C-alpha cells in the first residue's frame, strides 16, 4: 500500500486528543482504527453514499487492517487520506493513510473492505453505476 500523500485524492484534518495516547505515550492501537473509520465515514457522507432511509442499502465492513510505519501521538494534527483500492461486484476496498501534519509519507496505512447489502436481508447487493462512479473518482 502506498505511503505517498499524493496517492490519496481525498483528505481530512483530524486533531488528536490527550485521551488518544496510551501508557507508552503514543496513540492507542484502537485509535488508529477509529481515525480510519471516522475519515471514511466523512468521505462517504460527503460523496452521498450514506443514507439514513430505513430501506437504503448499507455498507458493512468485512475486513480491515493496519500497518504502523511510525508512531503518532497527541498533540499531532493528523491528516487522513482515502482512496479506492479495488471495486468488485458488491464490494470495494478503501485504502487509508494517516499523515503527521504536512508529512508527505504516511505514518500509518490501512484498509477497510466493505460490502453493500440490502437493508432488510443483509444479502450482498451489486453496486450501481452511481456508486461505481463515486468510487472511481478516488481511485489511483
CATH superfamily to which 5-137 belongs: Hotdog Thioesterase (3.10.129.10)
Q: Average pLDDT in the 66-92 region? A: 97
* pLDDT higher than threshold 80 for residue 16: yes
Q: Look at residue 109 in the predicted model and tell me its pLDDT.
A: 98
**Model confidence at 1, in pLDDT bands (50, 70, 90)?**
confident
Enumerate the domain spans of the chain.
Answer: 5-137
The pTM of the whole model exceeds 0.85: yes
Checking 22-28 for CB contacts under 8 A at 24+ apart, the result is: 25/73, 26/71, 26/72, 26/73, 27/71, 27/72, 27/73, 27/74
Amino acid at each position: 500500500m502506498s505511503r505517498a500523500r499524493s496517492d490519496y485524492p481525498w483528505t481530512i484534518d483530524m486533531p488528536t486528543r490527550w485521551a488518544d495516547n496510551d501508557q507508552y505515550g503514543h496513540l492507542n492501537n484502537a485509535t488508529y482504527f477509529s481515525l480510519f473509520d471516522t475519515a471514511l465515514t466523512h468521505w462517504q457522507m460527503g460523496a452521498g453514499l450514506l443514507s439514513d432511509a430505513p430501506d437504503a442499502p448499507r455498507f458493512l465492513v468485512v475486513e480491515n487492517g493496519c500497518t504502523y510505519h511510525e508512531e503518532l501521538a497527541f498533540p499531532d494534527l493528523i491528516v487522513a487520506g482515502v482512496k479506492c483500492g479495488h471495486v468488485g461486484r458488491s464490494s470495494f476496498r478503501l485504502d487509508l493513510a494517516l499523515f503527521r501534519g504536512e508529512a508527505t509519507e504516511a505514518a500509518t496505512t490501512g484498509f477497510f473492505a466493505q460490502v453493500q447489502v440490502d437493508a432488510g436481508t443483509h444479502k450482498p447487493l451489486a453496486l450501481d453505476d452511481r456508486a461505481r462512479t463515486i468510487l472511481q473518482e478516488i481511485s489511483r
